[in-house]
Amino acid sequence: MRMTGLLERRSLKTPDGTLLHLEGQGAPTCLMVHGLGYASWETKPLRDNLPTGYGLWSLDNRGTGQSSTLQGPCSIDDLADDAARAINELRSPLVVIGHSMGGYIAQTLAAAYPDMVSALILIGTSPGGPRSEPVPVSTTRAWQAAAGQAPDLYARRTMPLSFRPGWPQEHPEQFEQLLGARLTHPTPQQTWRAQFAACETFLAAGLDVSRISSPTLVIHGRDDQIVPVANGRLLAEALPDATYSEIRAAGHVVHLEQPALIAETISSFMNDLHLTHP
278 located within any domain: no
153 in a structural domain: yes
The answer to whether position 255 is within a domain reads yes
Q: Can you give the residue range of the structural domain that contains 254?
A: 8-272
Cα–Cα distance list, 111 to 119, 144, 162, 218, 237 (Å): 12, 33, 27, 16, 17
Q: Is residue 76 part of a domain?
A: yes
Contacts of 88 by beta carbon, 8 Å cutoff, 6+ apart: 116
Whether residue 2 lies inside any domain: the answer is no
Report the CATH number at residue 193.
3.40.50.1820
Residue 193, pLDDT above cutoff 80 = yes
pLDDT at 147: 87
Asked if residue 3 belongs to a domain, the reply is no
Q: What is the pLDDT of residues 121-147, one digit of tens each?
A: 999 999 999 999 999 999 999 999 998
pLDDT confidence of 210, banded at 50, 70, 90? Answer: very high
189: amino acid identity, one letter? Q
User: Is the whole model's pTM more than 0.85, yes or no?
Assistant: yes
Position 55 in a domain: yes
**Residue 1 in domain:** no
**How many domains is the chain partitioned into structurally?**
1
Predicted confidence band of residue 263 (pLDDT cuts 50, 70, 90): very high
* Interatomic CA distance for residues 128 and 118, integer angstroms: 23
Contacts of 253 (CB under 8 A, 6+ apart): 42, 99, 124, 162, 163, 221
- Whether the per-residue pLDDT at 5 is higher than 80: the answer is no
Other Cβ atoms within 10 Å of 168 Cβ, number: 21
What is the pLDDT at residue 34? 98
Segment 200-221 mean pLDDT: 98
What confidence tens digit (pLDDT) does each residue in 231-245 have? 999 999 999 999 999
In which band, very low, low, confident or very high, does the pLDDT at 184 lie, cut at 50, 70 and 90? very high
Angle between helices 101-112 and 189-205 (to 10 degrees): 60
